[in-house]
Amino acid sequence: MEVDFFKDLETEIKEKLKGFGYPIPSFEELRKQHISATEAHLSYKHYDIKNLVLHFLTVTERRIPIKKWNIHISPQLKNRTEIVNLVTMLSKGEDVNPFLSKQVKGQHQNKKTDLLRFEWGIYHIHFEEGGKGDEMLFVYFDGNKAYLLDILLHEKNGAHHITWTNTDLIQILHDNWPHVISHMIFKTDNEEIVSQEERKTMRKKAANTSVTVADGTEYMPIGGGFTSSKHTQKAAINTLRMIRRTEELELIVLNNEHNINSRLLFNESNTNLNVKLELTDGLNLKVINTANKRSFEFDEPY
């Protein structure tokens, strides 16, 4: 039996990026983004596919799941009619990803990054498709609930307003739905406050920070944080898991050909066994026989 699950994984990821309508970066383009790459990195057997997986999972982290959301609206948005269209779309389970920043599609994800999303878990959604317009709606998603926080102006060079490091967004969550972020409380009597400028400087240097709200409650990064390369921490961890799981599944199949044959063919004498790796919409890995579409998940997903 011949299998190449890493080639399958590459194909699956490219198909999903294509389905999003996003460009597919080449391995060469991804290598250029790894500024700390050494000969050891480049000689790693799965170096290129690892970079592609990291890119894909980072992009996926920036997208909003398409589902029917239970909407919760903060007092700051009372009587703000601008939100009606987005509220309707979210509650009906329509795709609002076209309203995200066009940088979500960027091939250079550690340059066209969203550190507010990665550090605080808060999305910014434009009111016009293609990421157009200066006003943006800031939303925190949890489970099947969407917490609409506030509308802020796009922060530009020379602007006097603070957007990307505006801790008022965390304050709104704390004031209205503290239970949603209570698991990220570090302590409740903090007196040290990180200024907006300090936070902005630290973000530029790829440093995560805590946030202290008015009553002294200090929160760790509720979005999980980002890495030194400015990719989401969750994507970096799951990249390693996905690479390791792909490697494991390939070895399992090669070392258990007879058992795999019986499990996937079910004694169908006229069916050939052609095994490949498939990446589900839920980002789980499973082995399928392409001839009859039978699948076999060996244990819990990665």
Q: 285-300: per-residue pLDDT in tens?
A: 999 888 777 777 665 4
The answer to whether the beta carbons of residues 190 and 152 sit under 8 Å apart is no
Least confident piece of the model among 24-33, 87-96, 121-130, 267-276 = 267-276
Residue corresponding to tokens 């979500």: 104
Least confident piece of the model among 34-48, 116-130, 190-204, 235-249 = 34-48
Residue corresponding to tokens 């309203």: 99
pLDDT at residue 32 tops 90:
no
pLDDT score for 270: 47
pLDDT score for 266: 53
pLDDT at residue 23 tops 70:
yes
Strand spans (E) along the chain: 70-73, 122-128, 132-142, 145-153, 185-187, 211-212, 218-219, 275-279, 285-289, 294-296
Angle between helices 233-255 and 257-265 (to 10 degrees): 100
What's the rounded mean pLDDT across residues 154-170?
84
Task: Please tell me the number of Cα atoms within 13 Å of 129 on its side-chain side.
Answer: 4
Q: 166-178: per-residue pLDDT in tens?
A: 999 999 999 999 9
Least confident piece of the model among 32-36, 74-78, 200-204 = 32-36
What's the rounded mean pLDDT across residues 81-95?
98
